[in-house]
Amino acid sequence: MTTPYDDVLGLSTDEAITILEKRGIPSIRIQMTAPPNKPDRQGEARVVAVRDDGRVLIAAVFRDALAEAETPPSAALREPFREDIP
């Protein structure tokens, strides 16, 4: 299912606000979200959801590149399922 705001998903918050303001949407708010175990605020805030007819942007911070010491996301998908994780 698509919505009229799908085109701003994944954009930086600045880019999304510019687009939505050009569409005549007033008073746009940004609500930040982050995973509870890694509230990392280093990187660029990108739109992950749109609420209230485009007036609320839910954003999360994404780092542009993974550090060399980190496990790449594709490798994490190959890890076996652990039932002990709540």
Kindly state the tokens that stand for 11: 């954009």
77 domain residue, yes or no = no
Q: Which structural domain, as residue segments, surrounds residue 16? A: 6-34+41-65
pTM across the whole model: 0.65
pLDDT tens digit string along 29-79? 999 987 666 666 677 888 999 999 999 999 988 766 444 445 444 444 444
Give the CA distances from residue 17 to residues 43, 79, 85, 86, in Å, rounded to whole numbers and listed in that order. Answer: 18, 38, 37, 36
59 domain residue, yes or no = yes
76 domain residue, yes or no = no
The pLDDT score that the predictor gives to residue 27 is: 92
CA–CA separation, 2 vs 5, rounded Å? 8
78 domain residue, yes or no = no
Cα 21 to the center of its chain, rounded Å: 19
| Alpha helices, H only, 1-86 | 13-22, 73-77
Task: Identify whether the C-beta of residue 40 lies closer than 8 Å to the C-beta of residue 61.
Answer: yes
Number of domains in the chain: 1
Choice between 12 and 69, residue whose per-residue pLDDT is larger: 12
80 domain residue, yes or no = no
CA–CA separation, 45 vs 73, rounded Å? 19
